[in-house]
């Protein structure tokens, strides 16, 4: 019972919100980070600056996550799109709506690529027919018999267990990769060194001069996606329980943000460091492809990640389907059986078809991060903050001037990262 004069808190606790947000932040993109380091250097000396960049961008992402929630709370919005609409007007709300929708498409592609590669590796290990060792065949098979029935479900609450499985699978993968980085199993003379293709075997160059170059923006672009959960910021703020005395819950929310982004940084940093220190320049866009099919611990990692994706894919797909229907002005008809089924089949077919030809997870994560992540994480939050502060016409203090300058810098940095990161990602992939 709360004391007299206090308000009984309702909502999620700080620890629960911290764990849930950390789960939301860490997605499939974390498995591409080692290839992001290898994109600009094959020297082990590249890892410390890569980790420093990761911590800097994690901090920036955490700050802008809090910014969206603050602005959304101030204008009475409970979603990313609504926050933008109430700050800039309904006419321009298509900008964040389109960006979020396209981001969910990139997420669906990443999931499809990963699950195809993982199940093909499992099929090869168990000695099944040649078709079961084909990633394209597995994508088609799983899309028809697993993803389609799940995505057609109206109520996805039963898939909540996927959050727990996903977290457990990612933590296990980080531990397994760290073990392999330490035990030398894949180094020359190691147990699994000759059991993987030559192009997957560890490759390192001695540090000779500066290890940094413009290709570092490929990693920077990936990191924008690695710490992206910003479209849910208003939701997390709304669901968090406030203090019992009825005061502002912003300090409690910032505790959640610091804790969750800290946990995400620990997990992302571990996987990135373990993958790169094991394979160096040979690090693949989907790092688990580097590990031998005969490595039983790698098999468990593939199974864990695949199980996570099977449960997570429909949750991501819902966002994609709703976003597309909204853009097509069909959201009001989303509950109609024909619209629900037709949109599900057509979108899933499109995602599966693209993933049959686009196999580079690192490219998907990096380009999506450069163009979409930069907008959602850096540019849009900073612009919303600056416009809201100008409209509020609040007294200017040294602190508010400093924060205004900070957000101008964040917005400009986001534009630069989108332009340079997108260009370098396409150039690295040989597209331009």
Rounded to 5°, the CA angle 373-116-215 comes to 40
Phi, psi at 128, each rounded to 5°: -75, 180
Torsion of CA 334, 339, 342, 346, to 10 degrees: -50
Q: How far apart are CA 141 and CA 341, in angstroms?
A: 19
* Helix spans in 332-397 (H): 337-357, 361-368, 380-392
Question: How far apart, in whole angstroms, are the C-alpha atoms of residue 90 and residue 81?
Answer: 9
CA distances from 302 to 112, 116, 172, 228 (A): 14, 11, 10, 23
Asked if residues 270 and 50 have their Cβ atoms less than 8 Å apart, the reply is no
What sections of 126-209 are H helices per DSSP?
A: 135-142, 148-152, 161-183
What is the distance of C-alpha 243 from the center of its chain? Answer: 31
Fold of 14-203+210-428: Amino acid/polyamine transporter I (1.20.1740)
The strand pairing partners of 259, in sequence order, are none
Residue ranges of domains in the chain = 14-203+210-428
Interatomic CA distance for residues 77 and 233, integer angstroms: 11
Distance from C-alpha of 421 to C-alpha of 371, rounded to nearest angstrom: 8
Per-residue pLDDT of the chain (432 residues; tens, 9 = 90+): 344 444 445 788 899 889 888 888 887 789 999 999 999 999 999 999 999 999 999 999 999 999 999 999 999 998 898 999 999 999 999 999 898 898 888 888 888 998 998 899 888 877 778 888 899 999 999 999 999 999 999 877 677 677 677 788 889 999 999 999 999 999 999 999 999 999 999 999 876 667 888 889 889 888 888 898 888 888 889 889 888 877 889 999 999 999 999 999 999 999 999 999 999 999 998 899 999 988 999 999 998 888 888 888 887 898 899 889 988 989 889 889 999 999 999 999 999 999 999 888 777 777 777 788 889 999 999 999 999 999 988 788 898 899 999 999 999 999 998 888 888 778 877 777
SS3 of residue 50 by DSSP? helix
The answer to whether the CB of 54 falls within 8 A of the CB of 269 is: yes
Instruction: Indicate the angle between helix axes 216-226 and 398-428, nearest 10 degrees.
Output: 120
Beta carbons within 8 Å of 76's beta carbon, 6+ residues apart? 86
């Amino acid at each position: 019972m709360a004391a007299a004069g206090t308000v009984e808190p309702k909502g999620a606790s700080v620890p629960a919100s911290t764990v849930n947000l950390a789960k939301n932040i860490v997605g499939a993109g974390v498995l591409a980070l080692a290839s992001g380091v290898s994109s600009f250097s094959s020297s082990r000396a590249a890892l410390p600056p890569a980790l420093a960049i990761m911590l800097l961008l994690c901090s920036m992402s955490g700050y802008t996550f809090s910014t969206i929630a603050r602005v959304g709370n101030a204008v009475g919005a409970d979603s990313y799109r609504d926050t933008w609409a109430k700050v800039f007007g309904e006419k321009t709300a298509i900008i964040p709506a389109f960006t979020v929708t396209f981001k969910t498409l990139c997420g669906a592609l990443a999931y499809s690529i990963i699950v195809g590669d993982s199940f093909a590796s499992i099929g090869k290990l168990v000695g099944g027919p040649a078709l079961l060792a084909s990633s394209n065949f597995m994508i088609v098979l799983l899309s028809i018999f697993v993803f389609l029935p799940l995505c057609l479900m109206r109520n996805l609450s039963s898939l909540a267990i996927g959050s727990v499985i996903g977290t457990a699978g990612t933590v296990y993968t980080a531990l397994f990769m760290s073990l392999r980085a330490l035990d030398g199993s894949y180094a020359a003379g190691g147990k699994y060194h000759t059991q993987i293709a030559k192009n997957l075997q560890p490759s390192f160059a001695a540090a000779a001069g500066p290890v940094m170059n413009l290709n570092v923006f490929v990693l920077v672009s990936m990191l924008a996606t690695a710490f992206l959960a910003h479209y849910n910021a208003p939701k997390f703020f709304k669901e968090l329980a406030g203090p019992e005395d009825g005061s502002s819950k912003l300090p409690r929310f910032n505790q959640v943000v610091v804790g969750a982004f800290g946990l995400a940084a620990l997990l992302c940093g571990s996987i990135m460091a373990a993958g790169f220190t094991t394979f160096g320049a040979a690090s693949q866009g989907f790092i688990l492809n580097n590990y031998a099919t005969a490595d039983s611990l790698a098999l468990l990692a593939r199974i864990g990640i695949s199980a996570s994706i099977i449960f997570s894919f429909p949750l991501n797909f819902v966002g994609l389907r709703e976003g597309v229907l909204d853009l097509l002005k069909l959201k009001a008809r989303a509950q109609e059986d024909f619209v629900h089924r037709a949109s599900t089949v057509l979108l899933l077919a499109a995602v599966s078809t693209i993933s049959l030809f686009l196999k580079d997870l690192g490219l998907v994560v990096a380009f999506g991060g450069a163009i979409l992540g930069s907008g959602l994480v850096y540019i849009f939050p900073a612009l919303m903050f600056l416009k809201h502060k100008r409209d509020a016409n609040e007294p200017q203090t040294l602190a508010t001037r400093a924060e205004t300058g900070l957000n101008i810098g964040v917005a400009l940095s986001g534009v630069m990262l989108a332009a340079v990161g997108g260009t370098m990602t396409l150039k690295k992939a040989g597209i331009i």
